Amino acid sequence: MLSKPWATVVLLVGLGVGHGLAAAEVAPTLPAWTVGTPIVTYWAGPAMSDAVAQQMAQGGFNLVWCGEKDLDLVQRHGLRAQLQDGLLAPASLDDPAKRQKLDALIDRVRNHPAMYSYFIVDEPSAGAFPALGKLVAYLRQRDPAHLAYINLFPTYANNEQLGTKGDTITAYREHLRQYMEIVKPALVSYDHYQFTKEGDSPNYFLNLAMIRQTAQQAKVPFLNIVQACTWTPSMRVPGPDEVRYLVYTTLAYGAQGISYYVYCASGHTGGIALPDGTPTPLYHALASLNREFVAIAKELQPLRSLGVYHAGMSPPGSEPLAADAPFRLDPPLATLAYRPPERVRGILLGTFGEGQRPSHVVVVNLDYKAEATAPLVGPGRLEVFDAASGKWSAVDGAKVELRLAPGAGKLVRLAR
């Protein structure tokens, strides 16, 4: 992921249909990829070592970037691996010698218990999608159990970068459409870096909404990459409360993964660790938040995201909370004018269920500078989830006053 003042979209890509690979070459014992434990990862981390792996495991990360030689080390620490190798490129399919080496690499790693995904390329334009689609399909036939990971541009990118035309929404929607049709991802992921020196950029929720819609249409999960540093004078380092807001808004929109830019990298301030390995304040905050993310995302994994609603301010891409919504605020929150680059304030409700009727809701305090109370009313008796303990507790009736720390959220469900 490049250090740029616009966000980058990542697609952890599933692998499409075959392109001439003989059936005998398919790995018959490997199942198709699924998310498994919700993903917590990062971009731009240090070289893998026992000390680094231990720090990441203790910090609640569960997917790390590494080379083939590190797979055993990663396994020892109970982590999953995203493999990096120069052979994981479309050009390998056009060169018989490289293709043979690629096949040998896949054969060596595909049965390793630490393997989770293959890293392919960063930020391709739409013109690269056909070649990438062929590589993704090839990998899928040889190793259906693991993702191919491709990093795409976000809404911030211009038409030339995206390879599509039109205004911001039109060009980005077309970029995603082509990608989904040609490359056929099994998981969509993107990032958005909103914390500037002047305030917050306005399109964080627009980007979330577009990715959520794209993933739902394709019936695949998605992952959000969020800001954990600054790399330019125009951006600021987010604090623990701001990162908590990113974690819980990501959950409310239905993501099954989260990633942070960066873990540590030269030319970047903040991050999760310093170049010498010293943890930053964000590391200590994430040690709890990462586990909360996994606990809540696991509860939501069998369900479908049914709607996401904003009460208070209405930033671009948001949908207001209806007065007669199954889960609502009583008394309702006053409508507030939104004037970027001010921060968004209000309450966010993300609803989930097995069918069309919501049974679960993630309630988020959008103000990362102040505590808030959300007077939540549901369509029946309620239970509240404790993400730290993984336990549900009953509420006396269909209403609960949720006290939320800055940027924090709670998962609530109808009592069973």
Q: Per residue of the chain (416 residues), give pLDDT as tens.
A: 544 433 333 444 433 333 444 433 545 567 899 999 999 999 999 999 999 999 999 999 999 999 999 999 999 999 999 999 999 999 999 999 999 999 999 999 999 999 999 998 878 899 999 999 999 999 999 999 999 988 778 888 899 998 999 999 999 999 899 999 999 988 888 888 999 999 999 999 999 999 999 999 999 889 999 999 999 999 999 999 999 999 999 999 999 999 999 999 999 999 999 989 999 999 999 999 999 999 999 999 999 999 999 999 999 999 999 988 999 999 999 999 999 999 999 999 999 999 899 999 999 999 999 999 999 999 999 999 999 999 999 999 999 999 999 999 999 999 98
d(CA 409, CA 405): 8
Residue type, 256: Q
What backbone phi and psi angles, to 5 degrees, belong to 212? -60, -45
Residue 220 in tokens: 């695949």
Give the DSSP letter of residue 215.
H
Q: Which residue has the tokens 């391709």?
A: 124
- What is the value of pTM for the model shown? 0.92
| CA separation for the pair 47, 67 (Å, rounded) | 9
Displacement of CA 114 from its chain's centroid (Å): 20
Q: C-alpha distances in angstroms, 187 versus 144, 229, 257, 289?
A: 14, 25, 9, 22
- The total of other beta-carbon atoms located within 10 Å of residue 88's CB is 19
Q: What are the start-end ranges of the H helices in 184-239? A: 204-218
**Residue whose C-alpha is closest to residue 277's, from 1, 40, 54, 42:** 54
Non-local (6+) Cβ contacts of 240 within 8 A are: 281, 282, 284, 285
DSSP letter at 279 equals B
Cis amide linkage into residue 358, ω under 30° from 0: no
Structure tokens at 327: 């889960």
